Structure 1
């Protein structure tokens, strides 16, 4: 599905950044092999207060859907109130980005259905 290739997803991230929505969390679109299947488009998110591996990626169920994955942690994490507030802000940013990617995917899928 071409609306999730690296160039398109990178452009969407650039568009999102231009809107001023991405906070301090680091965002990186990884190159993936599209021949691996329809679930390409991996976006790594670096949260500021925790080292939990976090990424946004599409899955295909009834329709393509972007989801956020938090990989399991080996150890507990303790945060101060300020760090907890930072984490909450980062998670809100990740949530908004995931919703934005879903909107763009839905629009692209609608455009290709019309063509």
Structure 2
């Protein structure tokens, strides 16, 4: 899918960061080898208040839906109340970015469909 290309995703991340919401600018597109000639669309969202990795990715080829994945945590995390609030903000930002990428994917697919029908 074209919306999984690193260039397209980076442009969307730049657009999201420029909007000033969601801690813009901390997410990045992962460098990955294409599988069967298709980019995976993997976006890494680093968390400053947890030891787990969080990433965003489309759920399947040809589907504009995205999901946030939390990998298993390698160690126990103990946080102060303030740090828990910070972690909650980070997770909310990850959800917001995921929703943004999903909206952009839907728009992209609709535009491609319209061009095909024209």
Structure-2-length-normalised TM-score: 0.87
Do the aligned partners of 2:44 and 2:54 also contact (CA within 8 Å) in 1?
yes
Equivalent positions of 1:38-53 (< 5 A) are 40-53=40-53
Cα distance change of structure 1 residues 97 and 24 upon mapping to structure 2, 3 Å threshold: closer
Question: Do the aligned residues in 1 keep the contact of 2:18 with 2:24 (CA within 8 Å)?
Answer: no
Say whether 1:83 aligns with 2:50: no
Question: Within the alignment, does 1:6 sit opposite 2:17 as a pair?
Answer: no
User: What count of residue pairs does the alignment treat as equivalent?
Assistant: 115
Which consecutive unaligned segments of at least 5 residues does structure 2 have? none
**Superimposed CA distance per residue, residues 45-67 of structure 1 (whole angstroms, 9 cap, x where no aligned partner):** 11111120111111117833111
1:27 aligns with 2:27: yes
Q: After superposition, what is the alpha-carbon deviation per residue over 1:14-57, rounded to whole angstroms, capped at 9, x for unaligned?
A: 00001001317831111233344656111111111112011111
Separation in structure 1 between the aligned mates of residue 81 and residue 28 of structure 2, nearest angstrom = 27
Mapped to 2, the partners of 1:3 and 1:30 lie a distance apart of 14
- Distance in 2 between the 1:87 and 1:101 partners? 21
In structure 1, the gaps of 5 or more residues are none
Secondary structure of the residue that 2:32 maps to in structure 1? coil
Deviation per CA, 1:46-103: give whole Å up to 9, x if none.
Answer: 1111120111111117833111111011332211100000000000100000000000
Determine which structure has the larger strand proportion and give its number. Answer: 1
